[in-house]
Amino acid sequence: MPCDYYIIAGEASGDLHGANLIHAIKAKQPNATFRLWGGEKMQKAAKSELVVHYREMAFMGFIEVIKNIRTISRRLKQCKKDILEHNPQVLVLIDYPGFNMRIAKFAKEHGIKVAWYIAPQIWAWKENRVKALKRTTDLMLVILPFETDFFAKHDMDVTYVGHPLLDHLKWNPSAIDIEDSPSIALLPGSRQQEINSILPRMLEVVKHFPKATFFISRAPSQSKDVYQPYLNDQVVLSEKNSYDLLAESDAALVTSGTATLETALIGVPQIVCYLTSPTTYQLAKFFIKVPFISLVNLIADREVVKELIQHNLNADALKTELAKILETENRKDMLNDYKFIREKLGGHGASERAADNIIALHHNTRDSFL
């Protein structure tokens, strides 16, 4: 059966933004129909079944992708077949470039309109992909201010809609002065692969802060059993969503990704953590063209938060940097930098602006929103 919008998100943050986009589309087009690859949030928003959950596609890093190439290939075939069966008016792709760029090419070949909501981060690496995006994309909606200039450099028209996190993240900064027993949030990522590699490194710092309590943010897609081996009297598994946990925390250790920006927009001093396989890391160093890995630093265009990457993610470094962000003056400076980032990202309404443009593409009236 044909549908209006076929939406694909490959990770937890994409599921959140996809859900908010669906709500915005339905508010303007109540009878819109959806077909989904994503998570529970998108499923609930659309009141529609999931074709595939994002956790079944969550492979990160060069080596990990190669190891799972058969699974990925099978999912690509499944997705292409499903798209043809449901013949959507618009294919909406949310980041996740390794998979979605292939689907965009396929959809374009079959006369389906293609919209990207949250552009692939090709400004970080694989800049030559912009040529493929130009060939296969009807509408590119970007959420970071510097992306407009990047795509303009390649003669590609894009529409800046602002960052959707501003629509639902309340500025609730942590206290400047910290008591003797701080609460530290640990956000080790949503993929089990990330959790197994990064969480043990994060926990190496616990012994150096005996009066602190460390709260692990449980990813919605992961069971409690995944975290059980790491728990003790000082390390607790939180059942709160990550935003509520952060709002009650004095500091955070955060795996690189969208969560670093979420932490900044709420107002919690943080350390950014990243760890992958040695081979993946060496390949990434060769290809990546940007000076930082965290969105916080990229948006600010300078180091606002400390990035501990690969071998630098160790107990001594974590101890030093965590002690710093628990000190009054360092906290004050970081929170002031966070305010600057919020201002740079603009105001509310990203989901609504994105919905307006996508609906207009559906009805061939998009010029009125440019």
Q: What is the pLDDT of residues 153-171, one digit of tens each?
A: 999 999 999 999 998 898 9
Query: Is the pLDDT reported for residue 281 higher than 90?
Result: no
Token pair recorded at residue 326: 């628990």
Please name the helix (run of DSSP H) or strand (run of DSSP E) that holds residue 35, with its range, or none. Answer: strand 34-38
pLDDT for 369 equals 41
Band of residue 368 on the pLDDT scale cut at 50, 70, 90: very low
Per residue in 78-99, pLDDT (tens digit) is 999 999 999 999 999 998 888 9
* Residues near 98 by beta carbon (within 8 Å), at least 6 away in sequence: 65, 72
What's the pTM value of the predicted model, to 2 decimals?
A: 0.82
Query: Is the pLDDT reported for residue 6 higher than 50?
Result: yes
Which domains does the chain possess? 5-162+349-369 (3.40.50.2000), 183-345 (3.40.50.2000)
pLDDT for 68 equals 65
* Residues near 275 by beta carbon (within 8 Å), at least 6 away in sequence: 197, 198, 201, 309, 310, 313
Query: Is the pLDDT reported for residue 334 higher than 80?
Result: yes
Q: What are phi and psi of 240, to 5 degrees?
A: -75, 155
CB atoms within 10 A of CB 31: 6
Query: Is the pLDDT reported for residue 290 higher than 80?
Result: no
85 DSSP 8-state letter:
H
Residue 127 near residue 327 (C-beta atoms within 8 A): no
Could you give the CA distance from residue 83 to residue 103 in angstroms, rounded to a whole number? 9
The arithmetic mean of pLDDT across residues 210-236, rounded, is 94
Token pair recorded at residue 237: 């598994």
Strand arrangement, sheet containing 235-238: 235-238, 213-217, 183-187, 251-255, 270-274, 306-309
Q: Which of 55-59, 175-179, 290-294 has the lowest mean pLDDT?
A: 55-59
Query: Is the pLDDT reported for residue 26 higher than 70?
Result: yes
Query: Is the pLDDT reported for residue 286 higher than 60?
Result: no
pLDDT for 129 equals 87
Query: Is the pLDDT reported for residue 287 higher than 70?
Result: no
As a whole number of Å, the CA-based R_g of the chain is 21
Band of residue 324 on the pLDDT scale cut at 50, 70, 90: very high
Band of residue 124 on the pLDDT scale cut at 50, 70, 90: confident
Could you give the CA distance from residue 174 to residue 270 in angstroms, rounded to a whole number? 11
Residue 296 near residue 304 (C-beta atoms within 8 A): yes
pLDDT for 91 equals 98
Query: Is the pLDDT reported for residue 365 higher than 70?
Result: no
The arithmetic mean of pLDDT across residues 54-62, rounded, is 69
